[in-house]
Structure 1
Amino acid sequence: MSNKELVKKFYDDIFIKGDLSNLNSVMKENYIQHNPDCEDGRKGFVKFINHFLSLKPTFDIINISADSNMVYVFFKCTVNEKHINKVCDIYRIENNMLAEHWDIIEHNVENKTSNNSNGLF
């Protein structure tokens, strides 16, 4: 499985289906987290994702790109059926497992006005 396919499966299983049963096979135990709202490690991710999934997120993945061991996911995430976030997640892959994560999030873009006609996504 390519790094890009690994991350796509991770999103499909965890974020879209809410199925954490294969987490041990895709995420390192000592997963490094750069999101200040999430603790390091697989256990920290589980704690975060359980809360996050309670917000009933829906995802519209715009693009997944890979460069060597780095995978970038750009998507629209709607939470609580009303707030839209514009997100780019970045993953470092090590030995076919998620090893490290960064994210860039623009919250509540449903209230944004634009100075151009290109759209937010």
Structure 2
Amino acid sequence: MSSISKSPIAAALLGALAIAAVGTAAAQEAVVGAGDAEALFTSPDPKLHANKQVVYRVVRDLLEANHWELAEDLITERYIQHNPNAVSGRAGVVAYFTQVLKRAPTPIPARISTPIVAVTAEGDLVTVLYPRVLPDKADPSKTYSTTWFDTWRIKDGKIDEHWDPATRD
């Protein structure tokens, strides 16, 4: 047995380096969307299916096509927002996308084009995972792949609350 493997400090250091190396290698895998994103917004459970379909319309009609005039059909008036860049209330989220981000409407597509990794539903919550590519702060000439998520609470067939990992702009 070598003197390195006999030292608890050296063994811990080697273990930490091994874990870091595995973590770095695993982080190199690109996050990719599912082949059939539409199928992810379905469920054999009628309530979960209905909730996923509300979120599907939010992704397609509001986030992709920017038809915020449809927000009244999809978002409660009290809408609770946990993103630090937008205020709560349906009027607040509509203003954020139409006035702050200045997104103009485009035709609503027959199928979504946003890459989707997964959609999960449990009770009144629906979470959508998206692939995301960001610039590498250590080397701005490079990018890395990660995952974004949105979670929505559905109440009476409309989005009532929202979470995502956004930080202040």
> With structure 2 as the length reference, what TM-score do the two structures score?
0.52
What corresponds to 2:43 in structure 1? none
CA positional deviation for 1:21: 2.5
Separation in 1, partners of 2:132, 2:102:
11
Separation in 2, partners of 1:78, 1:18:
22
What corresponds to 1:94 in structure 2? 155
CA positional deviation for 1:66: 0.6
The one-letter code sitting in structure 2 at the alignment partner of 1:49 is F
Unmatched segments (≥5 aa) in structure 1: 107-121
The one-letter code sitting in structure 2 at the alignment partner of 1:100 is E
Are residue 24 (structure 1) and residue 72 (structure 2) matched?
Answer: yes
Unmatched segments (≥5 aa) in structure 2: 1-48, 105-112, 135-142
Separation in 2, partners of 1:13, 1:78:
23
Cα pair distance change 1:87/1:53, threshold 3 Å? farther
| Structure showing greater Rg | 2
Are residue 34 (structure 1) and residue 87 (structure 2) matched?
Answer: no
Are residue 13 (structure 1) and residue 68 (structure 2) matched?
Answer: no
Q: Could you say what secondary structure the match of 1:9 adopts?
A: helix
CA positional deviation for 1:76: 2.7
- Aligned residues between the structures: 101
Are residue 75 (structure 1) and residue 130 (structure 2) matched?
Answer: yes
- Please state which structure has a larger fraction of its residues in strand: 1
Query: What percentage of residue pairs aligned between the two structures are identical?
Result: 26
What corresponds to 2:117 in structure 1? 62
Cα pair distance change 1:39/1:105, threshold 3 Å? closer
> With structure 1 as the length reference, what TM-score do the two structures score?
0.71
CA positional deviation for 1:70: 0.3
CA-based RMSD of the aligned residues comes to: 2.8
Q: Any conservation in 2 of the 1:59–1:78 contact (CA below 8 Å)?
A: no
Cα pair distance change 1:23/1:88, threshold 3 Å? same
Q: Any conservation in 2 of the 1:59–1:76 contact (CA below 8 Å)?
A: no
List, as ranges, runs of 4+ consecutive aligned residues in structure 1 with deviation greater than 6 Å. none
What corresponds to 2:5 in structure 1? none
Separation in 2, partners of 1:53, 1:63:
25
Cα pair distance change 1:77/1:11, threshold 3 Å? farther
- Please state which structure has a larger fraction of its residues in helix: 2
